[in-house]
Structure 1
Amino acid sequence: MGDWLKGVALENTKGLVGSIILAIFALMALSHPILMAWVWNRGIYHPMTGFDPDIAPHPTFPSLKHPLGTDSFGRDVLSQLLYGAGTSLGVGLTAGFIASILALSAGLASAYFGGKVEALLMALCDVLILMPPPIILLIVGLLIDMRWPILALLYGVLAGLGAPAAIIKSWAQGITVKAFVETAKVSGGGNFYILRRHILPYVLPAGFLFMTFTASGAVLTEAFLSFFGRTRIRMSWGTMIWFTQLTFYWSPKGPQWHALFPPALAIIAFCGAFYLLSKAVEEFYDPTLRRFPWGTKPRS
């Protein structure tokens, strides 16, 4: 694990940049409760109910008191941005983890057991491939309270049991016919032992790749659903965009670009970080794609 983290997050330029961006977002999420407890006035800087009566009317442009300005409802944009970082990290990482676990489980089970197990799982996979998660969740959002844990769970299930499961199955099928797998079966190895010990290591890189892809997709989907008002998430980057577009041109001070750009750029940077990490993982496991910056040499 240490070599993997070093190779992906430190020795690879893409992975290093992606890790730094995610670390910044993590610090943003951690800093918000600290600022609210020790620095900011809760009545003014609360991301949902805050209002600054001293500088009304709102919205206001960036100032020393409000570095990113305030929106039309008088709420501090920086406070909203920091609070939204925690929501996006929760949605992305939870959905990515769920999707990778389900994709690996379904793909390995289909490849190893075959027969009815493969037919059932791949039929489910085919159905989910034809059902884009954002559209399905947009409909589900009309029926239930779509809070972020539910959104992350549903997106992870829909994404993980779709194309990722089918791709992992195709990779794993090439491993199940290898001589060392047959030897393990003859030697009395149990199914779970063979899957974990002899097959999983060969498809685990794909699981990491799909985790990064799903994480960025989940954040984009959350923003998409929040923009259309189909979530019950109190504050996120998508919710910020939704509130801004409600009164974007109605402000007497002109279009509220100062309230729109921060969440939009944060979403782009967040998804870009996971894309860079996915490229780093791919290069780490594929020798033909590796780059060795700063004078480092390939591993022997």
Structure 2
Amino acid sequence: MSDESTLNANLYTNERTLGEKLGWWFRKSIYNFRANPLLYIGATIFALLILVAIFAPWLAPYEPLKMNFAHKLQSPNSEHWFGTDNLGRDIFSQVLYGARTSLSVGVITVVLSLLIGLPIGLVAGYAGGRIDSVLMRMSDVFLAFPPMLLPICMIAILGPGLMNVMLAIALSWFPWYSRILRAAVISVRNEQYVLSAQAAGVGHFTIMFKHLLPNAMTPLLIQVSMDFGYVILWAAALSFLGLGAVPPTLEWGLMIGNAQSLFLEYWWTAVFPGSAIFLTVLAANLLGDGLRDALDLNLRGESRYVTFS
């Protein structure tokens, strides 16, 4: 048997060992989940928000955009749980439907950020040298802008709207993901399983996505779970300023913006959409902290990297 065949056979054997270690890592993570109340609380709130968004048409007692001037600006009561706005629309129904928009904005924006930042960080961390320098300097261009300035400038050029908001926030957010993944890839690219794959003649694309990415995703997953709430907060802030969602779209930030002149006298018009944003950000932070404690085994003095034996 040639040296290359022997190496490939050893690599295959090590892959099976890797599978066993992944199974152990998964079982240990499940145990850590059970021992982590913050994770349970955050995941429960998130699950409820998702269910509310999915079943909003069945949960909402009224059409969210149906106006009834005879019932305008009613305080919370048995008929309108969250009260009504200045057009007589039921705020509870609006908050339920607004969850669809706000959560969708958060998911799409985070996915866009990952689609841009993940390949940049992966290639930069694996290739190193000039490629790393060029890609990181490109990311630095976006990081040079103050956090909210770039989205505002982009929306001023492109015009308000949820699609422009998601694109603008994604372009502000992706450099952080590329840097986090780059650092994680650099820390594992010289591990034995990567060197074995290189010696076996495995292609660069396969090494990056099969060997490096799964072992470098933990810090990125933790960051993404925590950023989800902040993305929704940013989108709500832009909608509040009139740069995001436009009527008749139901979005929590836009609801608060429409209620700003009424808030001092009719507090419920802004408090309930604001509370929905607060719960979402809280759930994201609890979920991120819980995932960090459950997945990042370095916090317990153990290696979180899956290596060949």
TM-score interval for Structure 1 and Structure 2 normalised by the shorter chain: 0.7 to 0.9
Deviation, structure 1 residue 217: 1.8
Q: Does 1:181 pair with 2:183?
A: no
State the 1:140 CA deviation: 2.2
Instruction: Report the alpha carbon displacement of residue 107 of structure 1 after superposing the two structures with TM.
Output: 1.3
Aligned to 2:212: 199
- Measured in 1, the distance between the counterparts of 2:169 and 2:79 equals 38
Deviations 1:68-104 (Å, cap 9, x if unpaired)? Answer: 1111222211011101111111011222223234333
2:13 aligned partner: none
Give distance in 2, aligned partners of 1:205 and 1:134.
27
Given candidates 73, 76, 88, the residue that maps to 1:62 is: 76
Report how far residue 64 of structure 1 moved: 1.7
1:99 and 1:159 in contact (8 A); partners too: yes
Alignment CA distance shift 1:96-1:118 (3 Å): same
| 1:248 equivalent in alignment to 2:272 | no
| 1:143 shift after superposition | 2.6
Q: Which residue in 1 is equivalent to 2:66? A: 50
Q: Which moved more, 1:175-184 or 1:119-128?
A: 175-184
Aligned twin of 2:303: none
Residue 29 of structure 2 contacts residue 294 of structure 2 at CA under 8 Å; is this kept in 1? no
- The answer on whether the counterparts of 1:103 and 1:207 sit within 8 Å (CA) in structure 2 is no
Paired residue for 2:11? none
**Which residues in structure 2 correspond to 1:231-270 (within 5 Å)?**
231-233=244-246, 234-249=249-264, 255-270=265-280
Normalised TM-score (structure 2): 0.80
Distance 1:8 1:179, change over 3 A: closer
After TM superposition, give the deviation of residue 257 of structure 1 in Å: 1.1
| C-alpha distance 199-269 of structure 1, shift in aligned 2 (>3 A) | same
User: Structure 2, unaligned stretches of length 5 or more?
Assistant: 1-22, 301-309
Change beyond 3 A, Cα 1:129–1:3: farther
Cα distance between partner residues in 1 of 2:104 and 2:230:
13
Contact 2:160 2:242 in 1 (8 A): no
TM score, norm. by length of structure 1: 0.82
| Equivalent AA in structure 1 for residue 66 of structure 2 | G
Structure 1's unaligned 5+ residue stretches are 250-254, 291-300
- Paired residues of 1:8 and 1:280 also in contact (CA < 8 A): no
How far 1:25 moved relative to its partner? 1.1
Is 1:167–2:180 an aligned residue pair?
A: yes
Question: Which residue of the other structure, out of 153, 161, 166, is the alignment partner of 1:152?
Answer: 166
- TM superposition shift of 1:65: 1.6
Instruction: Tell me how far apart the structure 2 counterparts of residues 205 and 180 of structure 1 sit (CA, whole Å).
Output: 18
Q: Secondary structure at the match of 2:84?
A: coil
1:274 corresponds to:
284
Mapped to 1, the partners of 2:201 and 2:294 lie a distance apart of 34
Please tell me the residue identity of whatever aligns with 2:54: L
Query: Could you tell me whether the CA contact under 8 Å between 1:107 and 1:165 is conserved in 2?
Result: yes
User: What are the superposed Cα offsets for residues 117-139 of structure 1, whole Å, 9 maximum, x if unpaired?
Assistant: 21221011212222244322122
2:107 matched residue in structure 1: 93
Runs of 4+ aligned residues of structure 1 deviating over 4 Å after TM superposition are: 1-11
Q: Is the contact between residue 155 and residue 164 of structure 2 (CA under 8 Å) also seen in structure 1?
A: no
**Percent identical residues:** 27
Compute the RMSD of aligned alpha carbons: 2.4
Distance, in Å, in 2 between the alignment partners of 1:151 and 1:68 is: 28
Match of 1:82 in 2: 96
Cα distance in structure 2, aligned partners of 1:64 and 1:218: 34
User: Paired residue for 1:119, among 133, 140, 158?
Assistant: 133
The residue type equivalent to 1:112 in the other structure is Y
**Letter aligned with residue 284 of structure 2:** F
Question: How many residues matched?
Answer: 274
